[in-house]
Structure 1
């Protein structure tokens, strides 16, 4: 779940990249993050590669390397850039080549790529500086592709979980959005990414692709991934324990399992032919 800013601050489509304390909190338990966060559809990877001029890939905000390994296993040479050293260390242990830093300030040292990808990470990147940096490191016709797996829970599960969050974490973003449609929550962020690409002038008109799939979770599987969400990574231990107890009880009431409907959404565009890379704004 994308962590939205508190009520009364900037709109959700403007501020996530400024919340560095949240963006760099996921490494608290990198092994859990890698174990529980969903992988990406093979069809999505195939389509991105089919629309790219080659197989040299830069993975922005690669985290523990979930998408990095999938693109590597599809035949790509992949370099990751990750701001959290703990996440980068975990990725390296799985054989991923990672450099630590924020993408906007990372030094490509003259290297260029056929595709710049970002799995569940581009909302943490400045939409102006990040897009300019992507244009700078892409080869002619190279592709920028940012993607997110949006989970829509069954209505009864969404309502039950939202009740737990509103009781225990009433002033947090997750309490406000837990029972709203996933695409509705994310659309402002997708729109901001699209706007940043379009206004850069360096890319073709951005497209939004969608890949639908489903996953059935057991009680233990869902509870295992809850602590990896932005709001929960920073919750006090007793609050997190109470959330897990409440969500667990709700899943028990649902019969011990539920099926989430995922839409993996991609915002993507290609570097315009003959386009020279713009300077990256400071």
Structure 2
């Protein structure tokens, strides 16, 4: 099953909208700057027009707005949209596949942690029609993991509760250079796997390119667990199992918290002509 077909997971975030906004991370400043630089506003001095899809509580949309861009958010969940609106964002409530653009066009269409929730066969042709000449599609994911052997211990707990074992984040950068360098220091690494969005983009006549933005972070025990348990895999668990999983993870994390690394992935793509 594709992620966008699992509607239980896709629609699970509203119940934790406040926690989602509090504990989900912002994107690295360099990633946001690269994204907004791709929004070619054309002739004249008008500000770039951005459509942020699956905007959630507006985490990425606020960062884009703060660069001076004009941002419209589209979000299907009313609770998430309410948080975004409380930040002064313009939000239209709709699934992207059904959203009516009413003739509006944009210099940038962005997805922050959300592209896997739309059907690419529907979304990508629609995006092509929404982009101004020279405009870009931007797909961004934060990919945050604990540093050191604590990652292995927490992954082992997750694999017991989710059955399929620990898996790469949806935002894991899949470029050959990163994977090759990593394999040189970690002999047990799998062969590099291309991010699925790249094949989807090429199949729909977009030209994509990847960039990775790395930052070192520190989380308190509570902050880390609160972030982890705003992810759909945990939100859709049996509540008792979810509580036990959280307690087991809590016992592994030192009282002083943990060091983590974000290898945030940005895919920029333009329609091929």
Q: Give the TM interval when normalised to the shorter protein.
A: 0.7 to 0.9
User: What stretches of structure 1 move > 3 A for 4+ residues in a row?
Assistant: 181-185
1: CA distance between counterparts of 2:74 and 2:270?
Answer: 20
The answer on whether the counterparts of 1:104 and 1:130 sit within 8 Å (CA) in structure 2 is: yes
The answer on whether the counterparts of 2:143 and 2:172 sit within 8 Å (CA) in structure 1 is: yes
Give 2:166's match in structure 1, choosing from 152, 176, 185: 176
1: CA distance between counterparts of 2:200 and 2:19?
Answer: 32
2: CA distance between counterparts of 1:270 and 1:140?
Answer: 9
The answer on whether the counterparts of 2:173 and 2:212 sit within 8 Å (CA) in structure 1 is: no
2: CA distance between counterparts of 1:191 and 1:165?
Answer: 22
**CA-CA distance at 1:170 after TM superposition:** 4.3
In structure 1, the residue matched to 2:210 is 208
In structure 2, the residue matched to 1:237 is 239
**CA-CA distance at 1:176 after TM superposition:** 3.2
Give 1:83's match in structure 2, choosing from 76, 79, 86: 76
Q: How do residues 15-54 of structure 1 correspond to structure 2 at under 5 angstroms?
A: 15-54=2-41
Q: How do residues 159-174 of structure 1 correspond to structure 2 at under 5 angstroms?
A: 159-167=152-160, 169-171=161-163, 173=164
Matched residues, number: 250
The answer on whether the counterparts of 1:24 and 1:84 sit within 8 Å (CA) in structure 2 is: yes
Q: How do residues 76-155 of structure 1 correspond to structure 2 at under 5 angstroms?
A: 76-155=69-148
Deviations for 1:160-206, whole angstroms, at most 9, x for unmatched residues? 11232244x143x5x43279x95479x86x633222222222x3x21
**CA-CA distance at 1:30 after TM superposition:** 0.3
Deviations for 1:24-74, whole angstroms, at most 9, x for unmatched residues? 111111010000001011111111222221210000100000000000111
- TM-score normalised to the size of structure 1? 0.82
Indicate the SS of the match to 2:82: helix
2: CA distance between counterparts of 1:160 and 1:198?
Answer: 37
**CA-CA distance at 1:256 after TM superposition:** 3.0
The answer on whether the counterparts of 1:104 and 1:129 sit within 8 Å (CA) in structure 2 is: yes
In structure 1, the residue matched to 2:183 is none
Moved more, 65-74 or 124-133: 124-133
Query: RMSD value over aligned CA atoms?
Result: 2.2
Unaligned regions of 5+ residues in structure 1, if any?
Answer: 1-9, 276-282
The answer on whether the counterparts of 1:165 and 1:243 sit within 8 Å (CA) in structure 2 is: yes
2: CA distance between counterparts of 1:163 and 1:256?
Answer: 21
Unaligned regions of 5+ residues in structure 2, if any?
Answer: 42-47, 175-189
